Amino acid sequence: MSSPYLTTQIPGTGGLIKETPEDFLVEEIPLYAPCGEGEHLYLQVEKQGLTTFAMMERLARALGVKERDMGYAGLKDARATTRQTVSIPGVLPEQIQGLNLEGVRILSATLHGNKLRPGHLAGNRFAIRVRQVEGDALEAARATLGALQEFGVPNLFGQQRYGSLGNSHLVGRALLRKEYEAAAGQVLGDPARISNARWRQGAERFAAGDLEGALAALPPRMRNERALIRDLLAGRPAGKAVLGLPRKLLRLYLSAYQSSLFDRLVAMRLATLGTLWPGDLAYKHGNGACFTVEEPAAEQPRADRLEISPSAPLFGYKVTLAGGQAGILEEALLEKESLRTEDFRLERGLSMEGERRPLRVPLTGAEVRQEGDDLLLGFGLPRGSYATSVLREIMKPPENDTLHGDH
């Protein structure tokens, strides 16, 4: 799923990220400030070593509330120091005093009138340490950041979207095509890409058709994979066994496939990422609305100012495809995958509506300095965009390396 670079002419810095949680700090930029009164307590928290859901589970247990009634604006990685806001109904600020949770620090507590919803943030601010950089790293990083500020950041999801084996999108692809035996094989994984010995042995036995041997080999923590094999051993068809996996996990696979198709469209247009084509659906960065480009020459100055950008679909059954040359690219990709947008209309709550997403995003407040063999980077991105899209342009890692980044 690798893509070429927008800044190919600028050398990479190399280096390592996320050697410690302190090396990667991400802080949400709120869409609005809490007003000070209402039924929901907005907590700004700093966490380390926990996913957003794990952090919310700890808060819910400590405060005696249901996790499903809590709200969040964005999901944040466990392998980082992250500052984000969550909302909790029916809790007062004084109830937070003295609360002591491992891996969680409360920064502020203010009341507000509504539950926090996914997407209720303007963006994220990042402070990242890249260790053991090479050559004239500071000069190269400055040049890359300058180019990204001028031309925009390729809005890639990147490798971290595709799971630890880099194949989540392949499970999603098989699900959409109703190729359930292939989906089951991808859930277990390609043994050649698995480093854990027991998992690898389980995947090898599964591939060889030895279901009992696979079940015996897999680590106990791999509950979903074990449940899948038990269903197959009980004689259930592959379709029922695969669709019996948790809905949240199945949607994650389908979303990964959507992301992989989007990344392919970004790669196809990378050389002219900010150039509008006739029929493009241009994305307004100010409000997220899209409009059809009738006269590219008339609209191009706005694109040059990064007010608008070409967009591509996260394919789904309701998404609008572009017209003209851009539409031909989008339809050709669907055809190559033997899919129609209608195929994303699935049962069991798995339907994917789809949406338009800009091919590039603005980079704000970019800064860099060197400290010994390390680079210290700071920058902001809109919500839904990944720091790894910036880091891969700066570092230009080997093709098989995976950068893990928050958004």
Q: Which residues are catalytic?
A: 77
Tokens of 129: 């340490």
In whole angstroms, give the CA distance from residue 221 to residue 151. Answer: 45
The region that residue 35 occupies, defined by phi over 0 for left and psi between -120 and 50 for alpha, beta otherwise, is alpha
Q: How far from 49 is each of 126, 153, 376, CA to CA, in Å?
A: 17, 28, 21
Whether 16 and 157 have beta carbons less than 8 Å apart is answered as: no
Q: How far from 400 is each of 159, 189, 321, CA to CA, in Å?
A: 10, 17, 32
In whole angstroms, give the CA distance from residue 184 to residue 174. Answer: 9
SS3 40: strand
DSSP secondary structure string for all residues of 120-167: -EEEEEEEEEEBS--SSHHHHHHHHHHHHHHH-EE----GGGGTTTT-
DSSP secondary structure string for all residues of 338-385: T--GGGG--TTTT----EEEESEE--EEEEEEEETTEEEEEEEEETT-
In whole angstroms, give the CA distance from residue 82 to residue 84. Answer: 6
SS3 401: coil
